[in-house]
Amino acid sequence: MASFIASFIPQAAGLLPKWQLFISTVAFLNSVQNFTTLKFTRRVYSAKPHEVTPLQARMFGVWTLLSAVVRFYAAYHINEKSVYDITLWSPLIVSSVSTIWMYSQYDFYVKA
């Protein structure tokens, strides 16, 4: 049984491919959850859970599924430059824009 499971683990050196596979799996499960129930998505947006719609949950699910696919592919093709670059740039762009946006809106959302 252990060798069967081990056959699915990326064979590239280092921990990064294994991490990509783990994060991809978590993202995939989160996508499934977004397509099946609003319960957990509403918890994320607990300030206004009534504003979470099935359409928003499905859009978030598709976005998360896309990132899961990119990371999954990277887990098994980590040594290919184009795959590595696409995987690197896709979260970097999103996280950079989000960080700048959050920093610029801090006083609007956080009333100290």
Residue 9 counted as domain residue: no
Per-residue DSSP letters for 75-112? HH-TT-HHHHHHHHHHHHHHHHHHHHHHHHTHHHH---
> Could you tell me which of 103, 67, 60 has the C-alpha nearest to residue 88?
67
pLDDT(112) > 80: no
Residue 3 counted as domain residue: no
- At 18-58, the pLDDT tens digits run 999 999 999 999 999 999 998 888 887 777 878 888 998 89
- At 86-111, the pLDDT tens digits run 999 998 888 898 889 889 989 888 87
Residue 44 counted as domain residue: yes
**How far is the C-alpha of 6 from the C-alpha of 89, rounded, in Å?**
29
User: What's the number of domains the chain is made of?
Assistant: 1
Residue 5 counted as domain residue: no
pLDDT at 91: 83
pLDDT(70) > 90: yes
**How far is the C-alpha of 34 from the C-alpha of 41, rounded, in Å?**
7
Residue 58 counted as domain residue: yes
**How far is the C-alpha of 107 from the C-alpha of 34, rounded, in Å?**
30
